[in-house]
Amino acid sequence: MPRTSTKISKPDAKLLEKKSLRLQLQHLLRDRVAHEMPIIGFFIEKEEEFVLIRDLIHGISGLGAGVVIFAPDNKKGEALPFDLYDEAMVIFYDHTSHKNLFSGCDMVVCFSDQAVKKSLASHIVPVAFSECRGVTNYHPNRETGNAFTFEKKDQWHVFAALIRAMETYRFPFDWKCIAYRR
């Protein structure tokens, strides 16, 4: 009788680290993220981006997704232009663990080339403005693309791209292929 191997291949170290960081982030979000739903980061660099996502956050958190806003630290101590602390966790760039927490997100809404670059380097699927460098829109039939793009910087286009991403997130094999495609 031939011998069969019971040896299990070693999981990718980056994938294990990402899972661990996601669990940490999920723990910090507590009950703000539903089971099997993605954690969505918003990488904000300008005040007009805060205004754009204001209503979007309410809709996305209402769907059960976890929401994390990565924002520039306001040295003057002023409050953010809106109060969403019940629906989203806000992490300032200078927070010591912001890089690790960023890596725990499943997808990140990006408005700039810098945010896209950071997202792709961390194997986070970007939901990005189509004019950003380095992104190609995901096409499920052809299994091509590394992001979910939106054509206009308005809440409806961003919301549509997020919904497409959230639907695809439900298929783990497809999601991993997108996240690890460069």
Q: Where are the domains of the chain?
A: 13-77+86-179
What does the pLDDT read at residue 15?
62
Alpha carbons 146 and 178: distance in angstroms, whole number: 5
Of the candidates 180, 158, 167, the one whose C-alpha atom is nearest the C-alpha of residue 140 is: 167
13: enclosing H helix or E strand: helix 13-29
What does the pLDDT read at residue 79?
53
Q: Give average pLDDT by consecutive 10-residue segment, the chain, 182 residues.
A: 40 68 80 80 84 81 84 59 65 66 89 91 93 94 94 93 95 91 68
Alpha carbons 138 and 123: distance in angstroms, whole number: 15
What does the pLDDT read at residue 98?
63
SS (H, E, C) 18-70: HHHHHHHHHHHHHHHCCCCCCEEEEECCCHHHHHHHHHHHHHHHHCCCEEEEE
What does the pLDDT read at residue 157?
95
Instruction: Mark 28-40 as b/e (b = at least 16 C-beta within 10 Å).
Output: bbeebbeeebbbb
Please name the amino acid found at residue 147: A
What does the pLDDT read at residue 63?
83
* Helix, strand, coil shares, percent, the chain, to 5: 40, 15, 40
> Could you say which of 1.20.1290.10, 3.40.50.1100, 3.30.365.10, 3.40.50.2000 is the CATH number of the domain covering 13-77+86-179?
3.40.50.2000
